[in-house]
Amino acid sequence: MFKEMTVQTEVRTQLVLIDSEVRGAIQESGIEEGLCVLWVPHTTAALTINENADPDVVRDILHETGKIIPFEDGYHHMEGNSAAHIKSSLFGPSLTLIICGGRPVLGTWQSIYFCEFDGPRRRRLLMKVLEG
Amino acid sequence: MFKEMTVQTEVRTQLVLIDSEVRGAIQESGIEEGLCVLWVPHTTAALTINENADPDVVRDILHETGKIIPFEDGYHHMEGNSAAHIKSSLFGPSLTLIICGGRPVLGTWQSIYFCEFDGPRRRRLLMKVLEG
Amino acid sequence: MFKEMTVQTEVRTQLVLIDSEVRGAIQESGIEEGLCVLWVPHTTAALTINENADPDVVRDILHETGKIIPFEDGYHHMEGNSAAHIKSSLFGPSLTLIICGGRPVLGTWQSIYFCEFDGPRRRRLLMKVLEG
């Protein structure tokens, strides 16, 4: 099953929780055992897995990576979003989830996040669910 | 085949070699051609591929990423392990290995490492082997 | 289908566009729906997705990651390429592309890059195309 969904982001950098969208699409596919590949078709966004219990974890991830890769740092790219391109490559555009019993296998504290690094924008998220 | 194993870490940050565990599980599956997806169900650990010949490579990876993402840096998350959460997102929780002839395809110098960023702990490692 | 190709790099750090090689190999496999796993069997190289429209994006990615992970920084590994090993782990050695209608699903601005962090060298790139 191949599926496309949209994610509306609200600010310049943001981690948007997409657990329920991913779980829903896997359930919809009817596939019990296999893989789910998530793909962000953008070069200033990414996907990641991290904690959802304390919102300060997400705050610290965004704040610290913003210190490591500043918005302004003598970049040559004229659009002003080089930091977002660099973060996109470091976080990565894709995740491959294991499906077991019709659900993605995640740890107790793991949630799936769409990473916006150059928002706010209306973004696309692609999913492939594969049996096996 | 879906399998779970455990990895006991000994110190705060550590790369634990898991080549033989992964090779063993692939062999056990009997699958000759396909994929092997490794997944760490934790948000302060990760997986990576790097050199196993000179132990100083692992030392440099841990030391340098510790300089880039310090243990203390004005984080808001009260548990004191924000650096580990950030490293987990940058290294990534998963690897997808190609299986060829019943073995994972790795380069001469490549080894598979479980990355501990907030140890010591008893950790879980999940594996899915898929034919295709 | 499992395939190996080579990538010749020209300088110390470089992003080499490999879109046409990947598209060609997928077409050659005859597989219309599935996954394509790319794997770099080296520990001082990687793979990434980013923009191909403005060459300054690639320049900024290489320049900024060179500032974050300097070539010289008191590393212990005697070969002088620890920065390349660290970048390899942060960018990652692999990508899993979704195949739809015989083509890799990429966004308008996305291209596939082989990342050289310790060139120039003759490098290998491995590909597995899987139906599903």
pLDDT single digits (tens) B86-124: 999 999 999 999 999 999 999 999 999 999 999 999 999
d(CA C130, CA C69): 36
Q: How far is C107 from chain A (nearest CA, A)?
A: 4
Chains in touch with B (3+ beta-carbon pairs under 8 Å) read A, C
CATH code of the domain containing B111? 2.60.120.460
CA angle B128, B53, C114 (to 5 degrees): 60
CB A114 within 8 A of CB B16: no
- The beta-carbon neighbor of C57 closest among A39, A41, A82 is A82
B48 chain-C contacts, CB cut-off 8 A? 89, 92
pLDDT single digits (tens) A14-70: 999 999 999 999 999 999 999 999 999 999 999 999 999 999 999 999 999 999 999
Which residue ranges of chain C lie beneath pLDDT 70?
none
Q: With an 8 Å Cβ cutoff, are A54 and B75 in contact? A: no
Q: With an 8 Å Cβ cutoff, are B60 and C77 in contact? A: yes
Per DSSP, the residues of B7-68 read: EE--SSSEEEE-HHHHHHHHHHHT--SEEEEEE---SSEEEEEEE-S-HHHHHHHHHHHHHH
Q: What are phi and psi of C116, to 5 degrees?
A: -95, 125
pLDDT of residue A72: 97
Please indicate, yes or no, whether the overall pTM of this predicted structure exceeds 0.95.
yes
Name the average pLDDT for chain B: 97
Q: Which two tokens stand for residue C108?
A: 């308008």
Q: How far is A76 from chain C (nearest CA, A)?
A: 6
Tell me if chain B has a CB within 8 Å of the CB of A100.
yes
Q: How far is B50 from chain A (nearest CA, A)?
A: 16
A89 chain-C contacts, CB cut-off 8 A? 48-50, 61, 91
Q: Which residue of C has its CA nearest to A40?
A: C107
pLDDT of residue A46: 98
Q: Which residue of C has its CA nearest to B90?
A: C90
Q: What ipTM does the predicted assembly reach?
A: 0.97
Domain that includes residue B44, residue range: 2-131
A97 chain-B contacts, CB cut-off 8 A? 39
- In total, how many domains does chain B have? 1
Tell me if chain C has a CB within 8 Å of the CB of A5.
no
Closest CA to B61 of C116, C89, C61: C89
- The beta-carbon neighbor of B65 closest among C39, C79, C86 is C86
d(CA B114, CA B72): 23
Q: Which residue of C has its CA nearest to B65?
A: C86
Q: With an 8 Å Cβ cutoff, are A78 and C56 in contact? A: yes
- The beta-carbon neighbor of B95 closest among C75, C86, C94 is C94
pLDDT of residue A103: 98
pLDDT of residue B13: 98
Q: With an 8 Å Cβ cutoff, are B41 and A90 in contact? A: no
